[in-house]
Chains A and B, each alone.
Chain A
Amino acid sequence: MYKYTIKRILLMIPTLIGAGLLVFMLMRMIPGDVCEIRLGGTGLMVDKEQIDICREGLGLNQSMAKQFYDFAIGMVTLNFGDSMWTGRPVTEEISVRFQLTLQIAIMATLTAVIIALPFGVISAIRQNTWVDYCIRLFSIAGIATPSFWLGIMIILGLLIVSQHLFGEPWMMPIQFTPIWVDPWANLSQTIWPAVAVGYRYAAVVVRMTRSAMLEVLREDYVRTARAKGLFEKVIVNQHALKNALLPVITLVGIEFAFLIGGLVVTEQVFNLNGLGKLFVDAVLDHDFTLTQALVMMVVSVFVVVNLLVDLLYAWVDPRIHYS
């Protein structure tokens, strides 16, 4: 187990280096740079000299190798530098938005798990009945419905319902309030995107729970439990569900990691100032330092979650690390 852990941790390194190289090259391939956009954006005649001064200030006139070296050293020493667009420290730019995205990701995960576990289990134990068909339709529909469209529908629904109830349309707050400052204002803003994302998330988890349960329910130990005359409830909860949970936990972990970097479209719909919006803005502004730091952060979250999942598997099932 010790050797396996070391091996898995070492395997993270090439992934991180590769991701760093990829984002570095992608950003340099985009035509134009932050100085041209910032100075050209005013619409006035820009003189070449000013752009050069700006480039020099940001270190953009240095060779690619030197720039990459600085970036790599910055990452290793956890010194992420300043945003090229706003000039504020990258960590500051990220941490403000991270709260919002993290909170929505957590709420969406809770929504998904609360819906998905009972549905998945019921669907498996009532396989090929109308209950099963309904739950499967519900989950396939969840995967098919774009969460940004569901978001638009929720906003529209809220407008129409509030118009009927209070006589004036209700709009969710635009300014983010941390939950410990004003829980009501916070929840009235975050619950809707969490539901919009949570539905698709739940749909994916229902399918995984169902298939894992179906597999486990055919195992010999379940048959033994039945032969012993145990109550079906005990068999499902104690014998089957516990063993079926592993792939479900894996999926929840990976989906969660994905949400941290993947809420781009949903944030756009709900007009939220989270990581996804920051990400898109950073790329569009050619903000190299910020984009690079964001990519490395999202990739690190993904890689670490994957590592934890693999170690969990190896710990539960010793056959894995012996092979």
Chain B
Amino acid sequence: MAVNETYIGIQDEPLQDRGWGAVAIDLIRRQPLGAAGGLIVILMIFAAVFAEQIDMYDPEVNDFGAMLQAPSLDHIFGTDEFGRDIYSRIVHGARTAMLVGFTAAILGSTIGLLIGVTSAYFGGWVDNIVQRVVDVLIAFPSIILALAIVIILGRGVGPVIVAITIPLIPNCARVVRSSALAIREIPYVDAARAMGFGHVRIVLRHISPNIMAPYLIMLTTFLGQAILAEASLSYLGLGVQEPTPAWGLMLKSGAEEYAESAPWAVIFPGIAISLAVFGFNLFGDAMRDVLDPKLRDR
């Protein structure tokens, strides 16, 4: 297909010899959706890091003189039923979302990577046992797993991260294993073994670096999933607890009773969740296009 060939042609031009501006313009031209996603991601990280600098009010302080106010110049997204500024809570909520999202995604994909590579490298009964455990975790309803973990460990940010991470691990382990099976057969692994290197060194230094593409793809996919999972758990009252600002929690307290009289209390947090996940997904898609040439036109 002609379109495809020119596409690959552009991709092969060297990027190094040009300035950052030119590279950025090039990126926007090749991956317009990915660039938009990247912009949203940067915006979210910026809000998470500089929450104190860009908020307008303290997100946890009640103001009973200003309950359920419509958006105005004083409160650009309005206030909730405790008079807290919704804009400030969204900005601080970004910190919770990014903290949980990044930690869970990085932990989930990294542990999955190690398990997948180890399983493929040793093969035999080790592989068999690991794969059966992976089967169980994939088949197990993840929301119930998360629910049980949160009840056992108690509520708060830490347990929520554990509860979101564990269901992610088997998905990554399975994908990584199938890639690692192919890598294992390449002669340099034999060469490393012939050099007398230990298993740990071969797994960490020789096989894992060659599985970076599927690893990074899983990692970016998990970011969006983890943010959504955090919002869902908080919405069910099982995640981050009040008065910590979290997007899902804002929907829980705003949604039930005030939706009709104060729609801003449910509209803005929802937009924040959707926008964040949307940005991470666009970015992840572009990343996949760049990293995995076979999937480029998917």
List A residues at the B interface (Cβ < 8 Å).
11, 14-15, 18-19, 22-23, 26-27, 29-31, 127-128, 133, 136-137, 140-141, 143-146, 148-149, 152-153, 155-156, 159-160, 169, 210-211, 214-215, 218, 261-262, 264-265, 268-269, 276, 279-280, 283-284, 291, 294-295, 298-299, 302-303, 306
**Chain B positions 130 through 159: 1 when the CB is less than 8 Å from some CB of chain A, otherwise 0:** 001101110111111101110110000000
B297 contacts partner chain A, Cβ-Cβ < 8 Å: yes
Contact partner of B232 (CB less than 8 A), chosen from A30, A146, A152, is A146
Contact partner of A265 (CB less than 8 A), chosen from B236, B270, B295, is B236
* Interchain CB contact under 8 A, B148 and A141: no
- Give chain B residues whose Cβ lies under 8 Å from the Cβ of A140: 33, 278, 281-282, 285
Sample 17 A-B pairs with CB under 8 A, ordered by A number: A14-B135, A22-B140, A26-B145, A29-B152, A30-B148, A144-B228, A144-B273, A146-B270, A146-B274, A146-B277, A152-B259, A264-B143, A268-B235, A279-B141, A283-B148, A283-B151, A295-B141
- Give chain B residues whose Cβ lies under 8 Å from the Cβ of A268: 235-236
- Give chain A residues whose Cβ lies under 8 Å from the Cβ of B195: none
The listed residue with most A CB atoms (<10 A of its CB), out of B33, B148, B228, is: B148
- Give chain B residues whose Cβ lies under 8 Å from the Cβ of A160: 260
Within B91-146, which residues are at the interface with A (CB < 8 Å)? 132-133, 135-137, 139-145
* Interchain CB contact under 8 A, A262 and B143: yes
State whether A19 and B132 are in contact (beta carbons under 8 Å apart), knowing that A30-B152, A143-B224, A152-B255 are contacts in the complex: no
* Closest A-B pairs by Cβ, 6 of them: A18-B136, A144-B278, A149-B270, A144-B277, A211-B298, A261-B141
Contact partner of B263 (CB less than 8 A), chosen from A156, A211, A269, A306, is A156
Contact partner of B147 (CB less than 8 A), chosen from A159, A210, A280, A302, is A280
**Chain B positions 273 through 298: 1 when the CB is less than 8 Å from some CB of chain A, otherwise 0:** 11111100110010000000001011
The listed residue with most A CB atoms (<10 A of its CB), out of B141, B152, B260, B282, is: B141
Interface size on B, as a range, is 35 or more
- Give chain A residues whose Cβ lies under 8 Å from the Cβ of B147: 280, 283
B207 contacts partner chain A, Cβ-Cβ < 8 Å: no
B172 contacts partner chain A, Cβ-Cβ < 8 Å: no
- Give chain B residues whose Cβ lies under 8 Å from the Cβ of A265: 143, 232, 235-236
B252 to nearest A CB, angstroms?
9
B191 contacts partner chain A, Cβ-Cβ < 8 Å: no
* Interchain CB contact under 8 A, A145 and B282: no
Measured CA separation A27–B144 after assembly (Å): 11
Chain B's closest residue to A207 (CB) is B298
- Give chain A residues whose Cβ lies under 8 Å from the Cβ of B281: 140, 143-144
Measured CA separation A303–B138 after assembly (Å): 10
Measured CA separation A19–B135 after assembly (Å): 9
State whether A18 and B297 are in contact (beta carbons under 8 Å apart), knowing that A30-B152, A262-B143 are contacts in the complex: no
Measured CA separation A260–B152 after assembly (Å): 25
List B residues at the A interface (Cβ < 8 Å).
1, 3, 33, 132-133, 135-137, 139-145, 147-149, 151-152, 224, 228, 231-232, 235-236, 248, 251, 255, 259-260, 263, 266-267, 269-270, 273-278, 281-282, 285, 295, 297-298
State whether A15 and B132 are in contact (beta carbons under 8 Å apart), knowing that A144-B224, A156-B260 are contacts in the complex: yes
Measured CA separation A284–B155 after assembly (Å): 14
* Interchain CB contact under 8 A, B139 and A159: no
Chain B's closest residue to A291 (CB) is B144
* Interchain CB contact under 8 A, B228 and A18: no
* Interchain CB contact under 8 A, A148 and B139: no
B278 to nearest A CB, angstroms?
4
* Interchain CB contact under 8 A, A299 and B148: no
* Interchain CB contact under 8 A, B152 and A143: no
Chain A's closest residue to B255 (CB) is A152
* Interchain CB contact under 8 A, B141 and A26: no
A201 to nearest B CB, angstroms?
14
Measured CA separation A152–B298 after assembly (Å): 33
A214 to nearest B CB, angstroms?
6
- Give chain B residues whose Cβ lies under 8 Å from the Cβ of A306: 139
Measured CA separation A133–B140 after assembly (Å): 36
* Interchain CB contact under 8 A, A303 and B260: no
* Interchain CB contact under 8 A, B132 and A14: yes
* Interchain CB contact under 8 A, A148 and B260: no
* Interchain CB contact under 8 A, A264 and B298: no
The listed residue with most B CB atoms (<10 A of its CB), out of A15, A136, A279, is: A15
Contact partner of A144 (CB less than 8 A), chosen from B3, B232, B274, is B274
* Interchain CB contact under 8 A, B232 and A148: yes
* Interchain CB contact under 8 A, B274 and A127: no
- Give chain A residues whose Cβ lies under 8 Å from the Cβ of B275: 144
A274 to nearest B CB, angstroms?
13
* Interchain CB contact under 8 A, B152 and A31: yes
